[in-house]
Amino acid sequence: MTKHIYTFVALIMLAVFTANAQTVSDFENITIPTSGYLNGSDASKKLESGNIILRNNYDTAWGGSWYGFAVSNKVDTITAGYFNQYSAIAGKGYNSANYAVGYSYSVVVLKNQAAGKEAKGFWVTNNTYAYLSMKNGDSTFAKKFGGVSGNDTDWFKITISGYLNNSSAGKMKDFYLADYQNKDNSKDYIIKGWTWVDLTSLGNVDSLTFMFSSTDTGQYGMNTPGYFCMDNFTTSDHYTGLQNISSSKEIFVYPCPANEVLYTSESLNGKRVSIYDMQGHKVYNNLSASNNNIDITSLAQGMYLLQILDGTEVLQTKFVKQ
C-alpha cells in the first residue's frame, strides 16, 4: 500500500514538474574518433544531442574544409595556430569530456518539445586558436588585443539571433568573448573559463544563428579566428501532462521526496542515466545502469532532473531529494 501511495504522489509531482522541464545537451552521446574531433567528415551534415541539432557542412572538394559545428574532446591549451582549431582554452568540456566547437555559419536547431519554446542558455569559452591569437597576436594575420600600449579598445563577440518558423524573432544577444574597451586596462579580459550565456531574452525560438565580429579586421574581413566552444546547451521543454521528451511512455519515480534511493518505473538496464541540478550541472552520470534504482545519497537536498537515454529515446522527469 505504501508503494502505491508513493507512486500516486510521484504522478502528482510529475504532472507539476514536467510543465517546466529542461533538457541539457552535453554532447556525450556523440562518439568521437581517435583524432579527438568530429567535424562532419562522416557526411551527416548534423550533430544531435538532447533536444538540439548542430548544423554542419563538410566539403571534400576543398581539402576537407568545414563550417558550422564540430564536436571535440581535445584538451590542448598550448599550441597556437590553425592546426589546433578543435581545442577549448578551458582544457576540457564544461563538466564532461565532449563539447561543441562553433565556426563560420553556426546554426542550432531546436527539436522535439523544445522547438518553438524558450532556450535557457549554454556554457561558452574561447577556442584555443582564437584565445592565443588574441592574447599574443598572430604574425601572419591577427593583432595582439590591446596593441603594444595595451590601450587599444579591441573586442571579439558572438551575436546570437533567434528565429521562429523561418522568420527572425526580432531579438539578438551579444556576448563578448574578449573585451578591452574599459578605460581601466586591469578590467580587460579574454574569456578563458566556461561562462554561462543566458538566452531567455530571445523569447520563443526554433533555431539560433551565431555570427562573429571583431575590431581586428582587414581587407578580407575579420582577422580574429572566428571560433567559440559551447557545452551544456539547455532547452526549456514546456509541455502539459504526463509526457516525456521523445516517447509516449510514462516514467514514474518514487518515493517522493526521496532520501537515499530513487526508484523508477522504467528499467534502467544498459541505459545511460544522468541527473542534473537546476543550474544545469551534471551531478550524476552512469553510462550503463542496471536494475531500476539509483543511489542518490551523495546529492544535496533540492530538486533535480533525471534523464534516461535509451538509444534515440529520451525520458526525463524531476524529483526532490530530501
Residue 10 banded pLDDT, cuts 50, 70, 90: very low
Q: Are 101 and 129 in contact (CB under 8 A)?
A: no
Give percent of the chain with pLDDT exceeding 70.
88
Residue 240 has what pLDDT?
34
β-pairing, 117-125 vs 228-237, is antiparallel
Residue 110 has what pLDDT?
96
Distances (CA, A) of 286 to 27, 93, 246, 270: 15, 17, 20, 9
C-alpha cell at 55: 548544423
Q: Are 244 and 309 in contact (CB under 8 A)?
A: no
Distance between CA 306 and CA 201 in Å, rounded? 26
C-alpha cell at 276: 542534473
Distance between CA 283 and CA 113 in Å, rounded? 24
Distance between CA 98 and CA 235 in Å, rounded? 18
Inform me whether the pLDDT recorded for 316 exceeds 60. yes
C-alpha cell at 27: 554532447
If one compares 7 and 283, the residue with the highest pLDDT of the two is 283
pTM above 0.75, yes or no: no
136's enclosing H/E stretch is helix 128-136
- Residues 62-80, mean pLDDT to the nearest whole number: 92
Residue 1 banded pLDDT, cuts 50, 70, 90: very low
Q: Which of 42, 64, 37, 214 is nearest to 142 (CA)?
A: 214
Q: Which of 60, 108, 64, 53 is nearest to 86 (CA)?
A: 64
Kindly tell me the sign of the dihedral angle through the C-alpha atoms of 17, 22, 23, 24.
negative
Least confident range from 3-12, 21-30, 198-207, 288-297: namely 3-12
Distances (CA, A) of 90 to 131, 193, 240: 10, 5, 38
Phi, psi of 196 (to 5 degrees): -80, 135
* Strand partners for 272: 309
Residue 12 has what pLDDT?
34
Distance between CA 278 and CA 302 in Å, rounded? 9
Torsion of CA 68, 27, 114, 156, to 10 degrees: -40
Distances (CA, A) of 280 to 34, 85, 131, 180, 284: 28, 27, 26, 30, 12
pLDDT digits 0-9 by tens, 251-305: 788 888 888 999 888 888 888 888 888 767 778 888 777 778 899 999 998 888 8
Residue 276 has what pLDDT?
84
Mean pLDDT, rounded, of the chain: 86
Distance between CA 243 and CA 260 in Å, rounded? 26
Place of cell 556576448: 175
If one compares 88 and 264, the residue with the highest pLDDT of the two is 88
Residue ranges of domains in the chain, CATH in brackets: 2-22+244-321 (2.60.40.3080), 31-237 (2.60.120.1350)
Inform me whether the pLDDT recorded for 2 exceeds 70. no
